[in-house]
Amino acid sequence: MLRREFCASGRRDSGVRNRLNRGEWRRAVSASARGLAESSIRRYGRKLSSPAVPAARHRAEMQIGVAATSLVACCTVIDPDGYRPNVGIIVANDCRQVLWARRIGQNAWQFPQGGIQRDESPRQALFRELHEELGLGEAEVEVLGHTSRWLRYDLPKRFVRRNCHPVCVGQKQVWFLLKLCASEHNVCLDTFEKPEFDHWKWVSYWRPQHEVIFFKRRVYRQALEELAPLLGLRPRPRRRRSGYSV
């Protein structure tokens, strides 16, 4: 899973790795990175719990939104261009609504997503992440399709951790559209000890592209537009900016 033997802080730790098998090393690095991310989330979460002007609150939410992404990316597979391979998961119901999840302890909503490990295909990563984050199995969903190419987003420059090796500048994603075949009561957010989400709800298909954190909006729009015909939906026309004439 690791391209080089680095711990979450970016320091080489090959001695520790030699004492652990591959699975134990992955779990140890994941736990270390998660601990650092949770520390950042707690720090900025305190800002959100106290009175703050809108601009300060926005900065705190943005810090929380990128903390886990930038920290965990230091410990995963990174391609030569600095992008972490990833799968995005859109789960739809019979009413063509999509599952919208809230990151645990945050006021930040997103689709489930997760990194592709070195020995995984995107489809294998899809079902692993589906089980880990939503508690759903392969038999409980139908795969309607996926995007035809990688969709990339960049982290804001000030959140790129240059001390990590290799440097991660963002993520490249294959997006899957799934139809939930089982009861919605089968969705379980606490399958694992440290869940990613603490709440979920059904929302209209186009809503997430406007509510996700700003640096992911272009990718969300691209994925939703490409996959919309699989649900019998037409891509929405782009909003025209006021003040411009054609």
pTM above 0.85, yes or no: no
Q: Which two tokens stand for residue 165?
A: 């090796």
Q: Which two tokens stand for residue 65?
A: 């939104």
* Of 38, 24, 99, 91, the residue nearest 67 (C-alpha): 38
Per-residue pLDDT, 162: 81
**Is residue 163 over pLDDT 60?**
yes
* Of 210, 115, 109, the residue nearest 170 (C-alpha): 115
For the chain, what is the mean pLDDT?
A: 78
CB-CB contact of 62 with 55 (8 Å): no
Q: Which H or E element spans position 202?
A: strand 197-203
* Of 63, 69, 35, the residue nearest 48 (C-alpha): 63
Q: Which H or E element spans position 153?
A: strand 151-154
The stretch 229-241 carries a mean pLDDT of 79
**DSSP secondary structure code for residue 216 in this structure:** G
**Is residue 143 over pLDDT 80?**
yes
**Is residue 178 over pLDDT 60?**
yes
Q: Which of the pair, 178 or 54, is modelled with greater confidence?
A: 178
Domains of the chain are 77-230 (3.90.79.10)
Q: What is the pLDDT of residues 7-52, one digit of tens each?
A: 333 333 334 334 444 444 444 444 444 554 455 545 555 544 445 5
End-to-end CA distance of the chain: 50
Residues with Cβ within 8 Å of residue 52, at least 6 apart in sequence: 60
**DSSP secondary structure code for residue 238 in this structure:** P
